[in-house]
A and B are shown apart, each in its own frame.
Chain A
Amino acid sequence: MDSGKVKFFLGEVLRNFSRNAGMQITAIGTVAITIVLLGLFLFIRAALADVGTRLLDQIEISAYLRPDITNAQVAAIGRYLAQDPRVASAKYIPKREGLAELRTQTRGAIDTALLTENPLPDKFRIKARVPEDVGAVAATVRRLDGVSNVVYGQKIVQRLLQLGAVLRRVGIGVIVVFLAVAGIIISNTIRLTVFARRREIAIMQLVGATNTYIRLPFICEGMLDGVLGALVAIGLLAIARATLWPRLLEALPWVAMSAAPVDPRILAAGLLLVGAAVGILASWISVGRHLRT
């Protein structure tokens, strides 16, 4: 490698970069804001998806049995559930056990000692192998002899999935707009540099520099804007994660959320790539426009 060449090239890039520092800071700031939003969005999406899968996994079907059910009918339902391939597990819970469970779940908030009679029916607790089968299994079980009622968290799951879809659509729209704005600002910054260096570019063209060579420092400058913006954003996100995330987990203990729904390293690498790509694309376009005229 010719170190003199590299030194010359880097010198040119740095000179460009420092020439209009104010504009560079604006560009970097815009990229940073965009990427913070993008990062937040990706993080929230991953967290929601995580919660969603957990809830879906946990979902179970409660098949309440008629009070007048016979032991033979209970056994028949048990046999049927055991041979259904969609069912992962099925457990018979007599009402006494059900009451004990309720007691532990509510931690004494309901004083079961006051009850003169157990109000709970006997039930089967069924888990489907895949969440998508929950509805179908529930429908089948409902038709079985001796089953009075079937309950599962259908509504909650649907709502959750719907919320996820809406959030994704809105989020993508916002991100696209912000990326476009960041791109335009980088592109304008580069155009200023191109303008400031138009004499140099003219001389380069005169002495036979290729367009690729002329373009390269500007592309690097745009990339630098994008990458620095992304680094600032990643720093902000890391701070937010370290300070706000544990509090959020604490504040919402019932939300079954894992501490790290996305690998922060993968997220950071992705954001860095997005920043670089926006910078490269924006500068490519603005220099290209100059070279063509």
Chain B
Amino acid sequence: MISLHGVSLVYPNGVRALDNVSLDIAKGDFVFLVGHSGTGKSSLLRLLYREAKATTGTIVVDGIRVDRLRRNRVPALRRHLGVVFQDFKLLSDKTVWENVAFAMQVTGAHTRDVMRQVPRSLDLVGLSHKSRMYPTELSGGEQQRTAIARALVNNPKILLCDEPTGNLDPVNTTEITALLQRINLKGTTVVVATHNQAVVDRMRRRVVRLEDGRITTDEERGYYYLGLGQGQVLSG
């Protein structure tokens, strides 16, 4: 579903964000990208939805050669992806319903499809009853659920999350994590870049660790800290 081979990313200011990264993510996978700030987690995600362009290497997302993608084909790629951010990126002058519908409306979806898809998406994240509320009237967790509903409304095969729980308290974090897991169970490939140790350790899913722009470890059922034992988690 996602495949990176020998990918490097050097920003115009000379910073080498990623260095010879190779990674394969299968359909239906759930992957955590972990590492300190500035180790390239966000950069890696940005490459996938083509907010940044790889300096070298090949990137394939859902059969699309993203590293070679022409500018005018980027919108087509993004319609196959859902992206969620730490700061939600909701429009404060639109209701929950309108925020979710917006993602369909601006891609030229038929009103009939909007009317069908938006309620489904809101139902999935459990916000049907708050569809008329504005983002400022919601809790952080609800705002993030709205953002996830928006990311899912076009039925993407892949959901990319950049620090989705970064602004949330533990209760809301748990809620969002459970939601992401539910989405993954429905067959969506989920990639989450996170700092949150509790989330990673509770889920016990694939963990890809980045350090200074390189992948240092890739564990099938990993922990946040390398080599952390089961006992340590329980006692911690």
Q: Which residues of A contact B (CB under 8 A)?
A: 2-5, 8, 199-200, 202-211, 213-214
Contact = CB atoms under 8 A, between A and B. Distances in A.
Contacts of B79: 207-208
Interface stretch (B12-20, B62-70, B100-108, B193-201): B100-108
Given A202-B89, A203-B89, A208 B107 contact: yes
Contact of A8 (B77, B105, B112): B105
Contacts of A4: 111, 114-115
The 8 A-B pairs with the shortest beta carbon distances in the complex, nearest first, are: A4-B111, A208-B78, A208-B79, A209-B106, A207-B103, A208-B75, A204-B106, A210-B75
Contacts of A3: 111
- Most chain-A CB neighbours within 10 Å: which of B76, B83, B106, B112? B106
Contact of A203 (B49, B75, B91): B91
A182 to B, nearest CB: 30
What does DSSP make chain A's interface, helix, strand, loop or mixed? Answer: helix
A2 B114 CA distance: 12
B7 to A, nearest CB: 21
A206 B111 contact: no
A5 B110 CA distance: 7
A213 B91 contact: no
Interface of B: 49, 72, 74-79, 81, 83, 89, 91, 102-103, 105-108, 110-112, 114-115, 150, 154
A5 B108 contact: yes
Given A3-B111, A5-B111, A208-B77, A213 B106 contact: yes
Given A4-B114, A200-B91, A206 B108 contact: no
Nearest to A214: B106
Nearest to B150: A207
A214 B49 CA distance: 18
A4 B112 CA distance: 9
A211 B83 CA distance: 19
Contacts of B112: 2
A205 B91 CA distance: 14
Contacts of B91: 199-200, 203
A240 B81 CA distance: 59
A3 B49 CA distance: 32
A207 B107 contact: yes
A206 B105 contact: no
A5 B105 contact: yes
A2 B111 contact: yes
Nearest to A19: B93
A2 B89 contact: no
A220 B108 CA distance: 17
A287 to B, nearest CB: 15
Nearest to B93: A15
Contact of B75 (A2, A5, A209): A209
8 contacts: A4-B115, A202-B89, A206-B49, A207-B102, A208-B74, A210-B72, A210-B75, A211-B72
B126 to A, nearest CB: 21
Contacts of B108: 5, 213
Contacts of A210: 72, 75
Nearest to B103: A207
B110 A203 contact: no
A207 B154 CA distance: 9
Contact of A207 (B78, B110, B115): B78
Contacts of A206: 49, 78, 83, 89
A7 to B, nearest CB: 8
A225 to B, nearest CB: 22
A203 B146 CA distance: 14
Contacts of A5: 105, 108, 110-111
A204 B103 CA distance: 7
The CB with the most chain B CB atoms within 10 A, among A2, A203, A207, is that of A207
A208 B150 CA distance: 12
A20 to B, nearest CB: 14
A13 to B, nearest CB: 13
A200 B94 CA distance: 11
Nearest to A291: B71
Contacts of B111: 2-5, 8
Nearest to B111: A4
A103 to B, nearest CB: 82
Contacts of B89: 199, 202-203, 206
Contacts of A8: 105, 111
A55 to B, nearest CB: 59
Contacts of A213: 106-108
